[in-house]
């Protein structure tokens, strides 16, 4: 069993926020791989399906981002999973828009969703960091993260989500490097403007 988690904040006002790109990724996987209907479970919305033949539950916590760990821990307990069986998609301001990085364990860089998950299940789960870019000034970070994607961002965002859907089965087989490389090949991030 694999647990794929998308981090975001619930509610219409947050639906298109950059902070919710984790939710968007999981929604894309659910739709792209024909998962079943979502049901309210584990303090979230859960949908079941298969990736590379492996039974998979996709979970979007409906707590606030800051207490996402409650939902992840509840699902882990129910399915009796190890942290290695958990993959968390989340936004990352320290990566340029559209860049992706996969890692197991490590720090949380102050991301409150990850801080909550770390507190509930430890740090040894897999993280898929989805670059949303940094606004350039620390004082603008919250507004940037909780702001909606601009129209100019939709092309790279949608391309990234499509690539995630195509490469997702590699996460089920434990091929994180292959997943990361395939996504980068299918949806290369645009070069930052240095002019």
The verdict on residue 191 lying in a domain is no
In a domain, residue 149? The reply is: yes
Distance CA 5, CA 8 (A): 10
Residue 69's nearest CA partner among 59, 56, 79 is 59
Residue 3 burial (CB count, 10 A): 22
Nearest-angstrom CA–CA distance, 195 and 178: 33
195 pLDDT more than 60: no
33 in catalytic set: no
Is residue 63 left, alpha or beta, with left meaning phi > 0 and alpha meaning psi from -120 to 50?
beta
Residue 104 in contact with residue 64, Cβ under 8 Å? Answer: no
Contact present, 128 and 90 (Cβ < 8 Å) = yes
State the total domains in the chain: 1
Could you report the per-residue pLDDT of 4-51, keeping only the tens digit for each? 999 999 989 999 999 999 999 999 999 999 999 999 999 999 999 999
Q: Does 192 map to a domain?
A: no
Residue 87: give its domain's CATH number: 3.40.50.1470
The pLDDT of residue 191 is: 62
- pLDDT for res 79: 95
pLDDT at residue 192 in the model: 53
Catalytic residue among 19, 33, 90, 111: 19
Q: Do the domain assignments include residue 195?
A: no
Q: Give a yes or no: residue 26 inside a domain.
A: yes
The pTM is what? 0.92
SS3 6: strand
For 47, the token pair is 């949908």
Residues 55 and 48 sit within 8 Å (Cβ to Cβ): yes
Each residue's pLDDT tens digit, 48-90: 999 999 999 999 999 988 999 999 999 999 999 999 999 999 9
Tokens of 115: 């801080």
Residues 6+ apart with CB under 8 A from 195: none
Q: Is residue 131 part of a domain?
A: yes
pLDDT, tens only, 134-162: 888 888 888 888 899 999 999 999 999 99
At 142 the pLDDT is 86
The DSSP result for 91-140, as a single string, is EETTS-TT-EEEEES---TT-HHHHHHHHHH-S-SEEEEEE----SSGGG
| Lowest-pLDDT range of 18-22, 92-96, 190-194 | 190-194
Using CA atoms, how far apart are residues 125 and 88, in angstroms rounded to an integer? Answer: 8
Size of the chain in residues = 195
72, part of any domain: yes
**27 located within any domain:** yes
pLDDT band at 194 (very low <50, low <70, confident <90, very high): very low
Q: Find, among 114, 93, 99, 96, the residue nearest to 6 by Cα.
A: 114
Residue 82, domain extent:
2-186
């Amino acid at each position: 069993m694999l647990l794929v988690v998308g981090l975001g904040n619930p509610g219409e006002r947050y639906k298109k926020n950059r902070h919710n790109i984790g939710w968007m990724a999981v929604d894309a996987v659910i739709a792209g791989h024909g998962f079943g209907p979502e049901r309210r479970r584990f303090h979230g919305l859960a949908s079941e399906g298969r990736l590379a033949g492996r039974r998979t539950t996709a979970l979007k916590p409906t707590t606030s981002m800051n207490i996402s760990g409650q939902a992840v821990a509840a699902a882990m307990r129910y399915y009796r999973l190890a942290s290695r069986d958990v993959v968390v998609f989340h936004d990352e301001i320290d990566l340029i828009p559209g860049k992706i990085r996969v890692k197991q364990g490590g720090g949380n860089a102050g991301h409150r969703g990850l801080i909550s998950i770390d507190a509930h299940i430890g740090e040894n789960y897999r993280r898929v960091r989805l670059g949303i870019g940094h606004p350039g000034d620390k004082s603008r970070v919250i507004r940037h993260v909780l702001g909606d994607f601009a129209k100019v961002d939709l092309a790279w965002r949608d391309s990234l989500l499509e690539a995630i859907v195509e490469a997702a089965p590699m996460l089920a087989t434990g091929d994180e490097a292959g997943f990361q490389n395939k996504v980068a090949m299918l949806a290369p991030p645009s070069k930052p403007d240095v002019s």
